[in-house]
Amino acid sequence: MAEVVILPSAVSAGELGAEFVARLVADRPDAVLGLATGSTPLPLWTALAARDLDLSRVRGFALDEYIGLPAGHPQSYRTVITREAVEPLGLTAALVHVPGDDGGPVEGAGARYEAAIAATGGVDLQVLGIGRTGHIGFNEPGSSLASATRVKTLTEQTRLDNARFFDSLDDVPRHCLTQGLGTILRARHLLLFAFGDSKAAAIAGAVEGPVSSSLPGSAIQLHPLVTVIVDEAAASQLQHADYYRFAWDNRLDFER
């Protein structure tokens, strides 16, 4: 079962997440981080930046990237990751990868990205947000639970949700490259964040099931080490919230 931690605010969630990253990097300065985009990871990046750690040897792999945006577009995930994570955290840009950024054709980009991840020994800690459709990365409903990095077509709901970052809905790409659910499940530790009412149904489905490709986030139930960090609003549809609070408050010393 995922460890579910319900905290009063996104700020405190970011601080707890930063603690996980800090411990990992203290142990392994060249750790491999899985990086997520969207608004959800921002409190984590803020809390991590405040710790002023040396993250210059950390290697990073973004979950996903739009297809069709020109290089340097402010909403390409390469640009977003650079602006929101690489620069504030002091990551080394050349060690941070985004699907499709190797200069090769889109065809085959998924397999090349999988090979690049495997060559590092795999992702140690994968940061995740979740979309309102229950997607993680850009694995929209129907994604195979064993999927690898590949091209996906975005749902209209996801395009509408992400239109706030673009001038108009027409400017939101229809396709993307995304790590698959199988790729995500190969990371050694998953750290899933969600904040606000709009994520409550997706979080309840992801944590409490059933496991189904119709709600891709539910794939986390197949993983042996998952930490779900949510605020009260995102936790509001969890059936077993009281138990999660009890388990967290009473965790044993070695788990702290």
Residues within the interface to ligand GLP (CB under 6 A): 36-40, 63-64, 129-131, 137-138, 158, 162
Least distance to ligand GLP, CB of residue 27, Å:
26
Q: Minimum CB separation from ligand GLP for residue 253, in Å?
A: 33
125's tokens: 């800690």
Q: Would you say 109 and 177 are in contact if contact means Cβ atoms under 8 Å apart?
A: yes
Write a three-state SS string for the chain.
Answer: CCEEEEECCHHHHHHHHHHHHHHHHHHCCCCEEEECCCCCCHHHHHHHHHHCCCCCCCEEEECEEECCCCCCCCCCHHHHHHHHHHHHHCCCHHHEECCCCCCCCCCCHHHHHHHHHHHCCCCCEEEECCCCCCCECCECCCCCCCCCCEEEECCHHHHHHHHHHCCCHHHCCCEEEECCHHHHHHCCEEEEEECCHHHHHHHHHHHHCCCECCEHHHHHHHCCCEEEEEECCCCCCCCCHHHHHHHHHCCCHHHC
Question: Which residue, 27 or 99, has its beta carbon nearer to ligand GLP?
Answer: 99
Q: Give whichever of 64 and 124 is closer to ligand GLP, judged by the CB atom.
A: 64
Q: How far is the CB of 63 from ligand GLP (least distance, A)?
A: 5
Q: How far is the CB of 66 from ligand GLP (least distance, A)?
A: 9
Written as six digits, the tokens of 133 are 């459709």
Residue among 30 and 196 whose Cβ is closer to ligand GLP? 196
- Which C-beta is closer to ligand GLP: that of 75 or that of 212? 75
> Is the Cβ of residue 38 or residue 99 nearer to ligand GLP in the bound state?
38
29, 58 Cβ separation under 8 angstroms: yes
For the bound state, the minimum distance from the C-beta of residue 55 to ligand GLP, rounded and expressed in Å, comes to: 21
Q: For residue 206, which of 196, 195, 217, 198 has the smallest C-alpha distance?
A: 217
Residue with Cβ nearer ligand GLP (113 or 138): 138
Q: Provide, rounded to whole angstroms, the least separation between the CB of residue 132 and ligand GLP.
A: 8
Q: Which is nearer to ligand GLP, 171 or 242 (CB)?
A: 171
Kindly state the smallest distance separating residue 65's Cβ from ligand GLP, in Å: 9
